[in-house]
Amino acid sequence: DGGITQSPKYLFRKEGQNVTLSCEQNLNHDAMYWYRQDPGQGLRLIYYSQIVNDFQKGDIAEGYSVSREKKESFPLTVTSAQKNPTAFYLCASTRRGTGSTDTQYFGPGTRLTVL
């Protein structure tokens, strides 16, 4: 079955540590996205990538970094510079990027808690 996997489901981190969230898709989609969701709130875009080796900042990129070395993988690093990292993180993908209105598909999410 094709889909998006995120690991781990739950992640705990001590203050001052960097942590990397995994996102893998086997849908052969070009574009991938990272969102942050806080309790009772909508989704806020962190970073997105339309193609391998290219990515753009979203609305709340400060304190986060990404890479897109392979089409199927788009890991997100939450750095110690992110002031309030405890949240639910969602990865998504679309078949095509700019210029399309393709459906966005989501992974199951990773809940990050900073202790």
Partner 1 sequence: GDSVTQMEGPVTLSEEAFLTINCTYTATGYPSLFWYVQYPGEGLQLLLKATKADDKGSNKGFEATYRKETTSFHLEKGSVQVSDSAVYFCALTENTGNQFYFGTGTSLTVIP
When asked if residue 79 is in the footprint of partner 1 (CB under 8 A), the reply is no
Segments in 30-113 forming alpha helices (H) = none
Task: Give the residue, chosen from 34, 47, 48, 64, that forms a contact with partner 1 under the rule CB under 8 A.
Answer: 48
User: 40: which residues sit within 8 A by CB, 6+ positions away?
Assistant: none
> Residues touching partner 1: how many (CB under 8 A)?
28
* Residues 87-106 close enough to bind partner 1 by CB under 8 A: 90, 92, 97-106
User: How many angstroms separate the CA atoms of 56 and 35, rounded?
Assistant: 13
- Rounded least distance, CB 15 to partner 1, Å: 24
Label residue 10 exposed, middle or buried (CB < 10 Å: 0-12, 13-18, 19+): exposed
31 binds partner 1 (CB under 8 A): yes
With binding defined as CB under 8 A, does residue 18 bind partner 1?
no
**18 vs 70: CA distance, rounded Å:** 22
Site residues for partner 1 per CB under 8 A: 4, 6, 31, 33, 40-43, 45, 48, 50, 58, 90, 92, 97-109, 111
